[in-house]
Structure 1
């Protein structure tokens, strides 16, 4: 479980495909703070640590994860947003994030608002029953607030701190990001869909 408050970014060190899986090795910014079998959120994707050394650590992504995320677009030296799992007694500064990506979206417009940025995304999935105005959404592991939305397009506002301290400042039009819809909204959507009078 995560909060969508990115702790830091790190660079991809190595990518290695074995059968249908992708082994990802990253520069280790956590030193002695992580361990084998620990979950870390990478660009919004919960992945398990399988190997650690002083300079790097490795995780593995399965075929299913590769199909519904942007991991296939990763390249060596790309920057990835990182967040370690939530400690229950700490403040929930973002919103509840599972690290289970629902879909991907393409950046279609970036507006500089003289101190902040407005990002517009086109989702692969219809949005009407998955988001609400001023509701929470996770983009590449970042907890953000919906500003506007239509059937497939939505926008979020990015403050300077978030822009500088995540990989959003490296993003450009056409880039693909990972999207996780709010878990409470998904439960309500599923309940209504299956509710019978």
Structure 2
């Protein structure tokens, strides 16, 4: 489990496609400081299992399901990525419950820079729209954010200077693809109510 509070911006060292899967290597000095084989690290919001650590670079295997449902397959060497280690039981839950199980992707539709923050608008895939609510939580590329506005096919978020500086959101351009994870509690409520 993760919190959606990004620990550092990492850099893609390599992405090697291998048939129906890929091997991804990422440079991240902070997240590798105590990483070992079998640990979970979220890369742009996707929970991945460490298979190797070499200095400040960790390597993960990415299966076809993850390549199909996320933006990971489109990464290139040198690309910036958001990194977060799995939360420990003795840590504060600063963002919201993030599983690292991406529900789909969205496209940045517009960016309105403000004096102190930026307002961003993203496309909203129809199957996910029912889980997104104004003032609710959403994870975009692993970042825990609050939805500011929502309609049938798009939603907005506002980003403070800290988020713009410490995550990939500051570099995001109109047309870029991002990973979305909707609030897991909404999905469970729907499942429970639907069984009655």
Q: Same fold, TM exceeding 0.5? A: yes
Q: For structure 1, which segment, 25-34 or 117-126, has the greater mean C-alpha deviation from structure 2 after superposition?
A: 25-34
Q: How many residues are paired up?
A: 195
Q: For structure 1, which segment, 168-177 or 25-34, has the greater mean C-alpha deviation from structure 2 after superposition?
A: 25-34
**TM-score (normalised: structure 2):** 0.96
Shift of 1:193: 2.6
**TM-score (normalised: structure 1):** 0.95
Tell me the SS of whatever aligns to 1:33.
coil
5+ long unaligned stretches in structure 2: none
CA distance in 1, matches of 2:108, 2:175: 5
CA distance in 2, matches of 1:118, 1:126: 24
Tell me the SS of whatever aligns to 2:33.
helix
Q: For structure 1, which segment, 45-54 or 184-193, has the greater mean C-alpha deviation from structure 2 after superposition?
A: 184-193
Shift of 1:32: 3.4
Shift of 1:131: 1.4
5+ long unaligned stretches in structure 1: none
Q: Is the 8 A contact 2:20 2:63 kept in 1?
A: yes
RMSD value over aligned CA atoms? Answer: 1.1
Shift of 1:127: 4.4
Distance 1:55 1:90, change over 3 A: closer
Shift of 1:126: 4.0
CA distance in 2, matches of 1:150, 1:127: 12
In the alignment, is residue 73 of structure 1 matched against residue 83 of structure 2? Answer: no
Q: What's the counterpart of residue 141 of structure 1? A: 142
In the alignment, is residue 104 of structure 1 matched against residue 105 of structure 2? Answer: yes
Q: What's the counterpart of residue 54 of structure 2? A: 53
